[in-house]
Amino acid sequence: MADSNSAKAFPVSWDQFHRDCRALTWRLNEVGPFHAIVAITRGGLVPAAIVARELGLRIIDTVCVASYDHDKQGDLQVLKGVSDAVAKLGGGTGKGLLIVDDLVDTGKTGRLVRAMMPDAHFAAVYAKPKGRPLVDTFITEVSQDTWIHFPWDTALSYQPPIRDGRA
Concerning whether 102 is annotated as a catalytic residue, the answer is yes
Count of the separate structural domains present in the chain: 1
164 part of a folded domain: no
94 part of a folded domain: yes
Concerning whether 164 is annotated as a catalytic residue, the answer is no
Active site residue: 84, 105, 136, 164, which one? 105
Cα distance between residue 41 and residue 110, in whole Å:
12
Active site residue: 15, 61, 71, 102, which one? 102
158 part of a folded domain: no
163 secondary structure, DSSP code: G
Mean pLDDT, each 10-residue run in order, the chain (167 residues):
66 96 97 96 96 97 82 80 96 97 94 96 98 96 95 80 68
Concerning whether 119 is annotated as a catalytic residue, the answer is no
Residues 6+ apart with CB under 8 A from 152: 46
Question: What's the confidence (pLDDT) of residue 12?
Answer: 95
Question: What's the confidence (pLDDT) of residue 162?
Answer: 77
44 part of a folded domain: yes
Cα distance between residue 92 and residue 101, in whole Å:
20
29 part of a folded domain: yes
What is the pTM assigned to this prediction?
0.86
> Over the stretch 120-163, which tens digit does the pLDDT of each residue have?
999 999 999 999 999 999 999 999 999 999 998 887 777 778 77
Q: Is 160 exposed, middle or buried (0-12, 13-18, 19+ CB in 10 A)?
A: exposed
Question: What's the confidence (pLDDT) of residue 1?
Answer: 47
Handedness of CA 61, 40, 124, 96 (dihedral sign): negative
CATH of the domain at 133: 3.40.50.2020
Cα distance between residue 93 and residue 116, in whole Å:
7
Boundaries of domain holding 118:
8-153
Active site residue: 3, 71, 84, 101, which one? 101
60-69 and 36-41 as β-strands: parallel, antiparallel, unpaired? parallel
